[in-house]
Amino acid sequence: MASTGEKPLGITAPLSTALPTDSENQASSALIEELKRQNNYESVVDTQKRTEALKALQAITEEFIKQVSKAQGLPDSVANSAGGKIFTYGSFRLGVFGPGSDIDTLVVGPKHVTRDDFFKYFPDLLVKMSPPGAITDLTPVVDSFVPIIKFEYEGISIDLIFSRIAVLNQIPQSLTLQDSNLLRGLDEADLRSLNGTRVTDAILDLVPQKTIFRTALRGIKLWAQRRAIYANIIGFPGGVAWAMLVARVCQLYPKATSSTVVLKFFRIMEKWQWPTPVLLTHIASGPLQVKVWNPRIYKHDSFHLMPIITPAYPSMCATHNITRSTKEIIQRELKRGGNITDQIMSGKLQWKDLFGKHTFFTEGYKYYLSVISASTTREAQNIWGGLVESKIRLLVLSLEGHDSISLAHPFNKGSERVHECHSEEEVEKAKSGSLQFLVKGERTASEKPDDKPKEENAEDVKVENGEGVKTENGEDVKKENDEDKKEDEPKTTMVYTTTYYIGLELKEGARSLDLSYQVDDFKYRCTSWDKHDDSLNALNIVHTRNCDLPDDVFSPGEVKPTRPVKKKTVVKKRTVAEESNGSAPPPKRQQTSVAAQG
């Protein structure tokens, strides 16, 4: 191994400092071209829209801080100079975002502004200070692990969290968050909120070539998303965890090009000796009396199956949600990815082969569990569905303990559906997974948050019995007895559902699959939540054969599994001659044998 005189990044020396070959450079160029074909890079225009959205959020943040300060009776001079700043983290800050990516955003306020203030003032200010209609799907989630406000700003998904800085009276625009002393006096929720930006910045500081890192990470993120192993809340690595794994490989091969980093990523992580942690830097101590990941001190940390440790103080495990089943799935995919990348580098395959879609529904399993969360308003379902999603991992853990199950594979995303029902019986069917009343087409995507029936939002068209009737100038044509008909129309109830699928791999020779204990326990965990409302929310879990999966989980061109056709036993009819001779039919056992031979 060559010596470079540069200080190595990471906790060990590099494995190789060799420069890339011409073929490796060509493979890297091909990777970038394929990423472009896969629409992985956002246009300049769309990126500018993100910049404008962040500018708007910065203005709202400053107004938020002013209003809270004045409400506390602080002088105008103090309120106007209190500041406030927006930070980003995650894929946007790492520079690996693409079309449709959300922006992970942090609001930082001075010490006198609290999280309660954030949830009290900020949602209303978002709506008030934004262009009309710009804010949609506004959902504050106060009780989550990291309290968050989710919304869309002119079509851009934004996750907004908050932290105060307890040692600062003012938040200047020049503020950075690297200094660990800024963490003094904060609770755990504030620490977790600040950790996102601090970790993202530390990752970028610890990679030798940021451009190479970003290209390789784009490839790995796309692969993980296509293979459905990208979702921290479900039990797979999230974006930060995948970034740290790629960053570690970059440290081990600091001169390598992106194609080599991708290949080495698969081969190193496939053979990684878990639970040895992946570290980008040595775990540091700091000024706070807070928990830092350490399996020798904290028993719970020793149970982490694939620990990937954040590089910023206080160090935490980014993959604590991984279970035995999801670990097995990840390792299978790493092996598959490595085999494909080997053939790409030798010219036998192309990068598009690495990014092939998962086969979770088409070839994955014979048996599935469908976990159906349902609500009768969109707002209620946004909250209830999120709660159920956060508990799916607990159901997976419970299923892993069943005597007949060798693996419980959760799909990384829920399937959201909207149902239009006209009776209590139809409502109950929709809540239990029936797609008989499914609203198809644009209605699902464009259903307004106020849940008004469709005809209330129509302007020129009156819908009656499926037909639109109007005059030339757009005015409705009134029919006789129209008012009487309205009174007779059944009440419409919209049901919003999110279904999570878990594929079940059974142990050899398994005969019984009684999951009543696991199902009842999971339902209890969810419905015992203090904000669960029986009048709004429902939760059902049903067994689903692969041939009974709904059509909408399959993409165009995918083949849905079909029910096996049982071979029919054909009994040969006796001829007239046989009947006249009085020959008797063979016994039943013999008949079966004969039929099978035929």
Whole-number pLDDT of residue 574: 57
- CA nearest neighbour of 84 among 166, 173, 158, 161: 173
CA atoms within 13 A of residue 557's CA, in its CB half-sphere? 2
Pairing of strands 462-464, 148-153: unpaired
Domain with CATH 3.30.70.590 in the chain: 363-452+485-553
Q: What is the CATH topology of the domain spanning 363-452+485-553?
A: Alpha-Beta Plaits (3.30.70)
- CA nearest 351: which of 24, 25, 16, 27? 27
Question: Residue 493: what are its φ and ψ, rounded to 5°?
Answer: -120, 125
Which residues form the catalytic set? 91, 102, 104, 159, 221, 230
For residue 522, give both structure tokens: 């999971």
> What 3-state class would DSSP assign to 86?
strand
Give which of 500, 589, 595 is closest to 541, Cα–Cα: 500
Residue 28's alpha-carbon distances to 210, 278, 313, 340, 355, in angstroms, are 15, 25, 34, 15, 15
Task: Kindly give the parts of the chain with pLDDT less than 70.
Answer: 1-7, 441-489, 567-598
**Whether the Cβ atoms of residue 497 and residue 490 lie closer than 8 Å to each other:** no
The β-bridge partners of 140 are: 149
CATH for the 22-37+208-358 domain, from 1.10.1410.10, 3.40.50.1950, 1.10.3720.10, 3.40.50.10860: 1.10.1410.10
Angle at 10 between CA 9 and CA 13, to 5 degrees: 80
What are the tens digits of pLDDT across the range 504-515?
Answer: 999 998 877 899
Q: Domain 44-201 belongs to what architecture? A: 2-Layer Sandwich (3.30)
Long-range CB contacts (< 8 A, 24+ apart) of 182-189? 183/286, 183/287, 183/288, 183/290, 183/313, 183/314, 184/287, 184/288, 185/111, 188/290, 189/115, 189/146, 189/147, 189/163
| pLDDT tens sequence across 106-134 | 999 999 999 999 999 999 999 999 999 99
Contacts of 459 by beta carbon, 8 Å cutoff, 6+ apart: 474
What residue ranges of the chain are covered by domains with CATH 3.30.460.10?
44-201
How high is the pLDDT of residue 415?
Answer: 96
Residue with tokens 């956002």: 42
| Burial class of residue 239 (count of CB atoms within 10 Å of its CB; 0-12, 13-18, 19+) | buried
DSSP letter assigned to residue 83 = B
CB 491 within 8 A of CB 452: no
Long-range pairs, 142-151, Cβ under 8 A, ≥24: 143/531, 144/386, 144/390, 145/192, 145/390, 146/189, 146/192, 146/193, 147/115, 147/119, 147/189, 147/193, 149/118, 149/119, 149/122, 149/123, 150/382, 151/126
The two tokens of residue 223 are 């692969």
Whole-angstrom CA distances from 587 to 275, 559, 569, 571, 591 are 62, 43, 14, 12, 6
Q: Are the C-beta atoms of residues 196 and 161 closer than 8 Å to each other?
A: yes
The DSSP-derived string for 355-421 is: TPPP-IIIII-SEEEEEEEEESSHHHHHHHHHHHHHHHHHHHHHHHTSTTEEEEEE-SS-EEEEEEE
Q: Could you give the residue ranges of the DSSP H alpha helices within 458-511?
A: 482-488
* Reported pTM: 0.84
- Give, in degrees to the nearest 5, the angle at Cα 179 between 176 and 183: 100
